[in-house]
């Protein structure tokens, strides 16, 4: 396990991560962040593209699991129920405990798991700490919160390093 902030690849969006290639790598579980990874902040319905990606994962024998830090009551639960997937809110990423609890629930090992998220200092750092392969996606939308611009600017060197370490 490592405290590295460097992802194993940077992808334009979750739908650019191939379920077939994940399966070929032995992946059985995809942990996914919610906000700015699967949907923009405040979006409550899974878009068609995300539903189709989830179905493509399932066709390859891979489960999708929502691993969220969202503190909004019911947000992660409501979204996961609509998508028909298990979830864990208040996961306290980057703490590895949330990752380990999710994998235990799903009966998989870190080697069989990837984490897909949009943030280096929560999603990637936590995944590496838990021994899970971190895959980073470009944030869907930055508008509306000046703090996000600063955070993503600080993350830029790690994103650039991750581009050269593609997992797929």
What tens digit of pLDDT does each residue of 59-104 get? 999 999 999 987 777 889 999 999 999 999 888 999 999 999 999 9
Euclidean distance between CA atoms 41 and 46, whole angstroms: 12
Strand-pairing partners, residue 63, are 29
User: How would residue 42 be classed by pLDDT, with cut points 50, 70 and 90?
Assistant: confident
Report yes or no: 113 and 132 within 8 Å, Cβ to Cβ.
yes
Query: How many angstroms separate the CA atoms of 32 and 22, rounded?
Result: 14
Identify the CATH assignment for 10-163 out of 3.30.200.20, 3.40.50.980, 3.40.50.450, 3.40.50.1000.
Answer: 3.40.50.1000
* pTM of the complete model: 0.93
Mean predicted lDDT score pLDDT of the chain: 92
Burial-class residue 60 by CB neighbours within 10 Å (0-12, 13-18, 19+).
Answer: middle
pLDDT band at 1 (very low <50, low <70, confident <90, very high): low
Structure token pair of residue 130: 């838990």
Integer Cα distance of 39 and 56 in angstroms:
18
Distances (CA, A) of 145 to 41, 93, 148: 11, 20, 6
* CA–CA separation, 10 and 163 (whole Å): 5
Enter the tokens of residue 30. Answer: 């995809």
Query: Could you identify the residue written with the tokens 């990752």?
Result: 99
Q: Identify each DSSP E strand in the chain by its residue range.
A: 10-11, 29-32, 63-67, 87-88, 113-117, 133-137
Domain coordinates of the chain in residue numbers? 10-163
Assess contact for 128 and 134: CB atoms under 8 A: yes
Residue 17's closest CA among 34, 32, 1?
A: 32
Query: What confidence score (pLDDT) does residue 137 get?
Result: 96
- Whether the Cβ atoms of residue 101 and residue 115 lie closer than 8 Å to each other: no
Please report the pLDDT score of residue 74 as a whole number. Answer: 87
């Amino acid at each position: 396990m490592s405290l590295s902030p460097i992802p194993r690849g940077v992808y334009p969006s979750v739908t650019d991560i191939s379920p077939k290639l994940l399966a070929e790598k032995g992946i059985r579980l995809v942990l996914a962040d919610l906000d700015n990874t699967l949907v923009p902040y405040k979006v409550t319905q899974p878009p068609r593209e995300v539903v189709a990606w989830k179905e493509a994962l399932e066709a390859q024998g891979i489960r999708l699991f929502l691993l969220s830090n969202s503190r909004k009551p019911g947000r992660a639960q409501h979204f996961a129920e609509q998508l028909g997937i298990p979830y864990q809110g208040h996961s306290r990423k980057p703490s590895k405990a949330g990752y380990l609890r999710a994998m235990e629930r799903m009966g998989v090992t870190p080697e069989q798991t990837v984490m897909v998220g949009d943030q280096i200092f929560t999603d990637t750092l936590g995944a590496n700490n838990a021994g899970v392969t971190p895959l980073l996606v470009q944030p869907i939308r930055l508008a509306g919160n000046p703090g996000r611009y600063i955070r993503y600017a600080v993350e830029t060197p790690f994103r650039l390093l991750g581009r050269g370490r593609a997992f797929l």
